[in-house]
Chains A and B, each alone.
Chain A
Amino acid sequence: MGADMLAIDRAARAIGQQAVLSVQGLSVEFGPSGNSVYAVNDVSFELAEGESLAIVGESGSGKSVTVQTLMGLIRKPPGRVTTGRALFRGRDLLAMPDSELRRIRGRDIAMIFQDPMSSLNPVLTIGLQLTEALREHQGLPVKEAERQALDMLDLVGIANAAQRMQAFPHQFSGGQLQRIGIAMALVCKPSILIADEPTTALDVTIQAQIVELVVRLQKQLGMAIIWISHDLSLVAGFVDRVAVMYAGSIVEQAPVERLFAAPVHPYTIGLLNSIPSLNAANTRLVPIKGAPPNVTLPPTFCAFAPRCEHTVARCREAKPVLETVGAGHATACWRWRELAQAPRMPAAPIERVAAAPASQAPLLVVSGLKVHFPIRRGVLRRQVGAVRAVDGVSFEVMRGETLALVGESGCGKSTTGRAVLGLERPDEGSILFDGKDYAGATGDALKQRRRDMQMVFQNPFGSLNPRMTVGRIIGEGLRAQKIGTRASRDARVSELLALVGLREALRNRYPFELSGGQRQRVGIARALAANPKFIIADEPISALDVSIQAQIVNLLDDLKTRLGLTYLFVGHDLSMIRYLSDRVAVMYLGRIVETGSTNAVFGAPLHPYTRALLSAIPVPDPKAGGTRRRIVLGGTVPDPSRPPPGCHFHPRCPLATDICARVEPQVRDFGANGAGRHLVACHHAGEATP
């Protein structure tokens, strides 16, 4: 109760304060009228001075269009503001001429963007890009502008700022670039900062750095923030209020604690149910059925109705408007009152069907695997070094289990997966599958392995040949392996379509006619065609919307039980991995630093990198913010062609001592008796983090 009261209290205070921004009935369409995309429909919200508001939604929900419209950043045409006002300190941003709005942009309202690399101009020095807003809005002389820009770079934590002013964007890492992007937005000390998914393109430990930075700067500079995100868990930790958008409309908004504790809109509830909670790993995810909405229909009905469990006739006939539920809490649903009476969950949590316990017999044993990519330089293209993508990796996958290979981008997890399948040629090491070494397999041996082992790829767009029908894509493996007759292959394709939950009618469609989730199902069906025993899933859900991710994860889960599969799951989304894997191997810079059962690794991580990684996972619980200890790692992942000597992690490690820089740590087993092995490669494994 305490937390709830606090939330309402805070919201009330926020509302009592003067709103710095008030958006009223904003609608934006794209394209010619009559053939429009209804991107934003009747959106209203307020932002108080110093407040932080999150706008959360999936791709196409209109969250980015909303804020870009306020800033005058959408292109007109094709964009059109059809209705609405946006009052900034009483002046309507949408009604003023662009020359006037221009003086507010960057000075009073500033923005940071999703991809730090592409949102900075590649051919201009960062010094110039940092100072130009100051010179524009405050007319500062170059020297003074540079001094202020330097101060701002220091504030966001760019080392050697003075020298780096002359550098170009490509000379920085993604995390550093986002810091520079933030510095650039804040040089004029705006009163509102709009952050448009600023961490989506970044790794989880870097994401934690950026969030911490923004929260600190908000306190220092006293600005209000609108944080756009697709990730409810992420914003749970640091915003005051959340507005949930679906198909261009706000479906629910509430103080953050209240939204997580007592959501009323079926979509919000659905989103929360489709995120695995770190505490309840044994409850099956409840995905939202169906695919993201079609925004080409005029908004005359509840856009969520096709996917909602509680739809009645009225939902399809008229569009609900926001109604007050409680203090600062509003929702747009015809049935929220009735539904609030009923039990919150549609049904009792479903126990996850426990897979047959994994046997202790390994199906795959990888030892000492190395994959190096040569770097050629100079006049004669001599090899001067190598990117050590995979640098001595050993692990086992037991029959019937799911082993997750996790790590941040560039750690070598995907290359490891590809090497196991023979798509990359290992430089060293052995790959024993079913007792046979396949490391250098070619010809028939490789062909046999590819019958037993298949892969599901990350990109649902790039992994399907755009010029083949779904049926041909799924049947490709059968044709390649010359399995069965034409008729039997056709029958098998039908079987597979049904197995992954696609209608038979989709067989003759092309990938471009399918949604992302459907494409990923096709990719899964293709992998299963020849009845493999073992599936390597390379980030199969990371390109999908949150509500679709749960569908695919559940599908993979069902298939595993039904077909007795073994999975090697490559990923970076730790909460999903905790949910679906039996054991976890954590990679850093080409090596595995910790391996153990999911419970052991997540419950009692021993390697300092694992601890930092886990502490950086956003938790869908606003209350956890205070109690969780965050270990925010400094710096970035080093260049894999010049890994640090000794332990690769030592330059960033809070526990590092002399020995770490000299000696590569041996793998040691910390497993308790009977709980399986828990392997850690660290000189200081298990020591308390300072």
Chain B
Amino acid sequence: MTDATAADMTIAAATSRGLWGEAARRFLNHRLATLGLVMLAVIVLACVLAPLIAHYGPNDIDLRGRNQPPGGIHWLGTDGTGRDIFARILYGGRISLTVGFVAVAISAAIGIFIGCVAGYFGGKVDLLLMGLIDMVLTFPRLVIIIAFVAVVGPSIFNTMVVIGLLSWPSIARLTRGEILSLRNQEFILAARSLGTSPSTIILEHILPNVLSPILVAITLDVATVILLEASLSFLGLGAQAPAASWGNMLRDARTLSILESQPWMWMPPGAMIAIAVLSINFVGDGLRDALDPQHIMGGK
């Protein structure tokens, strides 16, 4: 009995791209996602290569050129102490982006681990961990982070660690939920009935299938954390002067005169936050579409 059919032949005609090839194709077809990826790449590169791009260091003071509007030798002008805004944005971006990526890496590691444990073992362990998650989620995130920073003192390192240590519950909850819904899938039953061991089931069947929604959540979390860090720094509880971060560059704008008459000091860093976050959100949205399991789960 052979199975040479129309559907079969069309499958044979198209070369198999595999799962990741298919996902990459869908991602690149997503115009905003591609745009986001390009913008993000430009921002990251510019920040990494800051010394090559900017003519000034972030803390170089141009005594004759304080409060300079954009133009001339200072592309985006200078601040009240004569520091080059453009340079500070590039170097500040290093801090903002690093905090974003490192804090999310910490929270993702904790969140995925706790989510897997709760989801797979269930029962009392699950109850306990869910209680812990509820507890942490009861605190408004920015509020509890501020309270912790008040204890350990403000610094970039502390900001990163505190955000990382307090941001895992949403990822843990997502991971757990995904695992619970997967546990009832027939292919997990099939694996159990074939005698596949629990560790193999987790590694081969569960993790690859929960990875895509988690990846999407992690990406979007980077955006959220960049916003959090910016808020903290704006409040004076994140990166400390003289170091620049996008958030603390807006601190000067708390003075109405600067806010009104020297917008070049606060608008560019604010815009950079928005652009970086926007690009990451575009990428996250594209990933969501590209990794949507419905494309490969089939069904009608």
Binding site for B on A (CB under 8 A): 59, 289-294, 306-307, 418, 421-423, 446-447, 450-451, 454-455, 457-459, 461-468, 476-477, 479-481, 501-503, 505, 508-515, 517-518, 521, 523, 526, 529-530, 551, 554-555, 558
Is B11 a contact of A513 with CB atoms below 8 Å? yes
Is A476 a contact of B196 with CB atoms below 8 Å? yes
Q: Out of A454, A462, A512, A551, which one reaches B187, CB within 8 Å?
A: A462
Chain A residues positioned under 8 Å from B3 (CB to CB): 290-291, 501-503, 517-518, 521
Please judge, given known A-B contacts A508-B16, A511-B298, whether A466 and B193 are in contact too, CB under 8 Å. no
Is A480 a contact of B195 with CB atoms below 8 Å? yes
Chain A residues positioned under 8 Å from B6 (CB to CB): 290-291, 293-294, 306-307
Chain A residues positioned under 8 Å from B187 (CB to CB): 462-465
Is A515 a contact of B208 with CB atoms below 8 Å? no
Is A455 a contact of B193 with CB atoms below 8 Å? yes
B255 at the interface (CB under 8 A from A): no
A464 vs B8: C-alpha distance in the bound complex, in angstroms?
A: 18
Closest residue on chain A to residue B207 by CB atoms:
A467
Is A457 a contact of B16 with CB atoms below 8 Å? no
A105 vs B21: C-alpha distance in the bound complex, in angstroms?
A: 46
Please judge, given known A-B contacts A481-B195, A501-B1, A511-B296, whether A455 and B16 are in contact too, CB under 8 Å. no
Closest residue on chain A to residue B185 by CB atoms:
A462
Is B296 a contact of A463 with CB atoms below 8 Å? no
Please judge, given known A-B contacts A463-B186, A467-B19, A480-B200, whether A454 and B5 are in contact too, CB under 8 Å. no
Is B8 a contact of A291 with CB atoms below 8 Å? yes
Is A423 a contact of B12 with CB atoms below 8 Å? no
Closest residue on chain B to residue A289 by CB atoms:
B5
A548 vs B95: C-alpha distance in the bound complex, in angstroms?
A: 60
Is B296 a contact of A454 with CB atoms below 8 Å? no
Is B18 a contact of A510 with CB atoms below 8 Å? yes
Chain B residues positioned under 8 Å from A511 (CB to CB): 296, 298
Chain B residues positioned under 8 Å from A467 (CB to CB): 19, 208-209, 296
Is A526 a contact of B19 with CB atoms below 8 Å? no
CB distance from B238 to the nearest CB of A (A): 40
A481 vs B208: C-alpha distance in the bound complex, in angstroms?
A: 22
B10 at the interface (CB under 8 A from A): yes
Given contacts A466-B298, A467-B209, 6 further A-B pairs with CB under 8 A are: A463-B190, A465-B208, A467-B208, A509-B11, A512-B297, A526-B194
CB distance from A296 to the nearest CB of B (A): 8
Chain B residues positioned under 8 Å from A457 (CB to CB): 186, 189-190
Q: Out of B5, B185, B195, which one reaches A477, CB within 8 Å?
A: B195
A478 vs B186: C-alpha distance in the bound complex, in angstroms?
A: 19
| CB<8 Å pairs between A and B, sample of 26 | A291-B6, A293-B6, A294-B6, A294-B10, A306-B5, A307-B6, A446-B195, A454-B193, A457-B189, A462-B185, A462-B297, A463-B189, A464-B190, A465-B205, A466-B297, A467-B19, A477-B194, A501-B1, A503-B3, A512-B295, A512-B296, A514-B11, A515-B7, A518-B3, A555-B1, A558-B1
CB distance from B118 to the nearest CB of A (A): 17
Is B193 a contact of A459 with CB atoms below 8 Å? no
Q: How many B residues touch A, CB cutoff 8 Å? A: 38
Which of B7, B191, B204 gathers most chain A CB within 10 Å?
A: B7
A529 vs B18: C-alpha distance in the bound complex, in angstroms?
A: 24
Binding site for A on B (CB under 8 A): 1-8, 10-12, 16, 18-19, 185-187, 189-197, 200, 204-205, 208-209, 293, 295-300
Is B298 a contact of A450 with CB atoms below 8 Å? no
Closest residue on chain A to residue B192 by CB atoms:
A423
Is A466 a contact of B8 with CB atoms below 8 Å? no
Q: Out of B1, B7, B193, B297, which one reaches A461, CB within 8 Å?
A: B297
Q: Out of A307, A468, A512, A530, which one reaches B5, CB within 8 Å?
A: A307
Please judge, given known A-B contacts A423-B192, A451-B195, A464-B187, whether A512 and B298 are in contact too, CB under 8 Å. yes
Chain B residues positioned under 8 Å from A454 (CB to CB): 193-194
CB distance from A266 to the nearest CB of B (A): 15
CB distance from A204 to the nearest CB of B (A): 22
Is B195 a contact of A462 with CB atoms below 8 Å? no
Is A476 a contact of B295 with CB atoms below 8 Å? no
CB distance from A200 to the nearest CB of B (A): 12
Chain B residues positioned under 8 Å from A555 (CB to CB): 1
Is A461 a contact of B298 with CB atoms below 8 Å? yes
Is A459 a contact of B186 with CB atoms below 8 Å? yes
Which of B1, B12, B205, B300 gathers most chain A CB within 10 Å?
A: B1
Q: Out of A307, A421, A459, A466, which one reaches B296, CB within 8 Å?
A: A466
Q: Out of B8, B189, B205, which one reaches A518, CB within 8 Å?
A: B8
Is B194 a contact of A292 with CB atoms below 8 Å? no
Is B298 a contact of A501 with CB atoms below 8 Å? no
Rank and list the top 10 A-B pairs by shortest CB-CB distance, nearest first.
A290-B5, A463-B186, A501-B1, A477-B194, A512-B296, A291-B5, A480-B196, A466-B296, A450-B195, A462-B186
Chain A residues positioned under 8 Å from B190 (CB to CB): 455, 457, 463-464, 523, 526
Chain B residues positioned under 8 Å from A512 (CB to CB): 295-298
A515 vs B8: C-alpha distance in the bound complex, in angstroms?
A: 8
Is B195 a contact of A465 with CB atoms below 8 Å? no
